[in-house]
Structure 1
Amino acid sequence: MKYSILGFAVLSAFFISGCTTSGAFLSANQTIVHLERANYTITATNVSGSAEAGYVLGFSYSTGFTTNTFAAGRVEGTGMLYQEALENLWINYEKDSGTINGKRLALANVRYDTDILNLLIYTKVMITVRADIIEFTD
């Protein structure tokens, strides 16, 4: 009886103090740009940015646009995977194409890829965002 109460307390503490994360670049307010006129150029294709995080005593899964993790605690990364991946995408673009300041740029054909490693005591999630970048000319 003593062990079952202790086991219940440990299990309860695991679920109450655990770590959960979920995220995506989904927006309720979207701006739609129609690329009908020749007022833009494609400045880069297939630019990507990635971010990753590692967790203990948990598991992760992906359902397309979202990736979810349930774990006892994070041991790597910040957990802001989509934000970091987009920031890294722009950093990678600037390495090849120069600064983005003063340019009228937009992302087109945005794609999300997820790589998940689930082990018994460790789970690791990596998000990659890929996009083509267009610049408006007038």
Structure 2
Amino acid sequence: MKKYLSVIAILALVLLEGCTNSGAFVATNRTSVNLQENNFTIVAANMSGEAESEYILGLSYSYGMMANTIAIARIQGSEMLYADALQNLWDRYEEEHGSIEGANLALANVRYDADIINALVYTKVKVMVRADIIEFD
């Protein structure tokens, strides 16, 4: 009986030990920009960025604009998926259009998507961000 209790206690500790990631990128922006005036140009349409993480002994799921993971350990990638995906979007923009330093740029029509693979002992989360980049005159 003590042997079974020890095994259950060890399993409980292993299951409670681990990492979790709620990749919500919920931001409130109080800046109001009126795009009805002709004071901007769309400099890049449909730019995208992505980031991914891989975990063992876990489960990932997506709900709305949030991707969540509960796992024992992360084996690759970052826990900051949304920030990394946005950074990747800006890096791709700079590769194609030059530096963003000093430019009056903003993201418009921002869309988020998640691709998730759940296997028995492995889970992978990929977050994608897609947006139009506008430049104000």
- Percent identity over the alignment? 54
Tell me the equivalent position of 1:69: 69
Name stretches of at least 5 consecutive residues in structure 2 with no aligned partner.
Answer: none
Q: Secondary structure at the match of 1:38?
A: coil
Structure 1 runs of 4+ with >6 Å offset = none
Alignment of 1:1-138 (within 5 A): 1-137=1-137
The number of equivalent residue pairs is 137
Q: CA shift at 1:5, angstroms?
A: 1.1
2:21 and 2:67 map into 1 onto residues whose CA distance is 8
1:28 partner amino acid? T
The one-character-per-residue Cα deviations of 1:34-90 (angstroms, maximum 9, x if unpaired) are: 201100000001100100000000100000111100000100012110010000000
Name stretches of at least 5 consecutive residues in structure 1 with no aligned partner.
Answer: none
**RMSD of aligned Cα (Å):** 1.2
